[in-house]
Chains A and B, each alone.
Chain A
């Protein structure tokens, strides 16, 4: 049986991904078929953001991965330099 925090974190991840998926599906797939005068369009940004936001998020992710790799490499370099 998984421990408490593991369950909370795991289910939290599932919930977050479901929320993102349903909102994004409604935004990209469903909204074009709904009449443009309907009130639901108020809850969604202009359609261009549907590509811009994931693109920006992906670039940010790449940036953080690169920074993390740089940090780990510098740290290991300092450790080997201290050991010499």
Chain B
């Protein structure tokens, strides 16, 4: 192991350590919104750099074909997941028919009472 290589790995290690310390400090003082925006910004810039070829990497053509629609794909899958969760929770919701009927009659009572006291709906 040459001296130059050893020094390089030492520099890399200390950089990673400092970055870890910085990120843990920021994670404590940063709001959730700021964290989300940071994450989005980092992922977005990575994607932009890879798709425009700014990093000079020679990715295989099929990988490039998968990469450029990736944000649209993630949005569509997130939407599908949301729709599926809503649908599943609607289908498995436990109705309480007695409580629903009781609540409706109480609403009617309240409306009649308030209308009698002069409140116009």
Bound pair (A, B): yes
User: Which of B66, B72, B73, B93 is the one whose CB lies under 8 Å from A32?
Assistant: B66
**A residues 20-45 with Cβ under 8 Å of B?**
20-21, 24-25, 28-29, 32-33
Interface size on B, residues (CB 8 A): 27
* CB-defined contacts of B28 to chain A, threshold 8 Å: none
The CA-CA distance from A14 to B88 in the complex, in Å, is 6
Among the 9-residue stretches B17-25, B49-57, B74-82, the one with 4 or more Cβ atoms under 8 Å from chain A is: B74-82
Which secondary structure dominates chain A's binding surface?
helix
The CA-CA distance from A54 to B78 in the complex, in Å, is 12
- Contact of A1 with B94 in the complex, beta carbons under 8 Å: yes
Interface residues on A, range: 20 to 34
Is B44's beta carbon under 8 Å from chain A? no
User: Which of A13, A47, A51, A83 is the one whose CB lies under 8 Å from B83?
Assistant: A13
User: Which of A2, A20, A47, A54 is the one whose CB lies under 8 Å from B65?
Assistant: A47
- Contact of A21 with B77 in the complex, beta carbons under 8 Å: yes
* CB-defined contacts of A58 to chain B, threshold 8 Å: 75
Is B33's beta carbon under 8 Å from chain A? no
Is B84's beta carbon under 8 Å from chain A? yes
Given the known A-B contacts A12-B87, A13-B84, A29-B66, are A6 and B93 also in contact in the complex, defined by CB atoms under 8 Å? yes
Chain B positions near chain A (C-beta within 8 angstroms): 61-63, 65-66, 69-70, 72-73, 75-77, 80-81, 83-84, 86-95, 120
Chain A positions near chain B (C-beta within 8 angstroms): 1-3, 6-7, 9-14, 16-18, 20-21, 24-25, 28-29, 32-33, 47, 50-51, 54-55, 58, 83
